[in-house]
Structure 1
Amino acid sequence: MRAREWIFDRLELAWSTKDVGALTELFTEDCVYEDLALGVRHEGHEGVREFARGVFETMPDFSLTFPVRVVTPERGSSHWVIRAHWNGLFEGVDRTGHAIEFNGLSSYRFSDGKIAHNIDCWNYVQMIDGFGVVPARLAALPHVPGS
């Protein structure tokens, strides 16, 4: 079985309905899921479940759309938009109830009609701006005179 665009419809539905089982089934058992902005890597079905649970804990009304999709039998890519309200701390500041919207790009490698490797790339600065929170590690940088 070869992956086609239907996989994006199923991904969008599984993420937006918070169906961790359906989401996991879209990935190979030995898959790799990487989030470059957060610097994390998850492996296998348990890694996908762990990642999804973390997303749903911090964004309980999480919704995802794929306005742009490109797919071949072996590879795919997408532009995605996430909308949600935050639950809990962001960079040490309670942002519970704060609306957030951000977008990114993902690259996929397929095997036997499932996702074998998923790499997410998104703009962390967009999150900082959206929350109005400057992380302590960035606030601590020395300021350049005249800038």
Structure 2
Amino acid sequence: MNVQQWIELLEERWKARDPQGIAELFTEDAVYHQGPYGEAHVGREAIAAHWTATLSRQKDPVVRFGTPAASGDRGFVEWWCILHDPADGTPRTAAGCLALRFAGDGLCAGFHEYWHSAPDVAREPAEGWFE
């Protein structure tokens, strides 16, 4: 599996609201960091639990990924999404970058996610954002 395929599967499983399917994209002992300060999610079970909680706070995701860059076992990709609160439908926008480290089998062994959000607004990317 290459970086582009991995990202396509992540997007597909995110939209399908499949936390277990997302966790299966990672090695058994993967380390998943969401932002630079929080406690890492370690292993597939913890990653699935993280995504279960994440998906419970959103509905109807509109997700976009840029073209990933890869070098050796590393990959990087920008992303943009518009999410809606499941309780009242309030939109929010988030955009960020993923830094990935892959194992020899193509599964992700190290994941760092950096993002910013704009609450209470559905904002499209600026023209040329993913170029």
TM-score range, shorter chain: 0.7 to 0.9
The residue aligned with 2:85 is 86
Q: Partner of 2:48: helix, strand, or coil?
A: helix
The residue aligned with 1:108 is 100
**Contact kept in structure 2, 1:36 and 1:119, CA below 8 Å:** yes
TM-score between the two structures when normalised by the length of structure 1: 0.72
Shift of 1:68: 3.2
Report the count of equivalent residues.
120
Cα separation, 1, equivalents of 2:107 and 2:28: 9
Gaps of 5+ in 2: 122-131
The residue aligned with 2:128 is none
- Equivalent of residue 117 in structure 1, options 99, 110, 122: 110
* Between structures 1 and 2, the one with greater helix share: 1
**Contact kept in structure 2, 1:109 and 1:118, CA below 8 Å:** yes
Identity %: 25
Cα separation, 2, equivalents of 1:38 and 1:14: 26
When Rg is computed on C-alpha atoms for both structures, the one with the higher figure is 1
Moved over 3 A (4+): none
AA at the equivalent of 1:20 = P
Cα separation, 2, equivalents of 1:110 and 1:60: 29
**Contact kept in structure 2, 1:80 and 1:103, CA below 8 Å:** yes
Structure-2 change in CA distance of 1:121 and 1:15 (3 Å): same
Work out whether 1:131 is the aligned partner of 2:120. yes
**Contact kept in structure 1, 2:29 and 2:109, CA below 8 Å:** yes
The residue aligned with 1:53 is 52
AA at the equivalent of 1:52 = W
**Contact kept in structure 2, 1:16 and 1:62, CA below 8 Å:** yes
Gaps of 5+ in 1: 89-95, 133-147
> Over the residues paired in the alignment, what is the CA RMSD in angstroms?
2.0
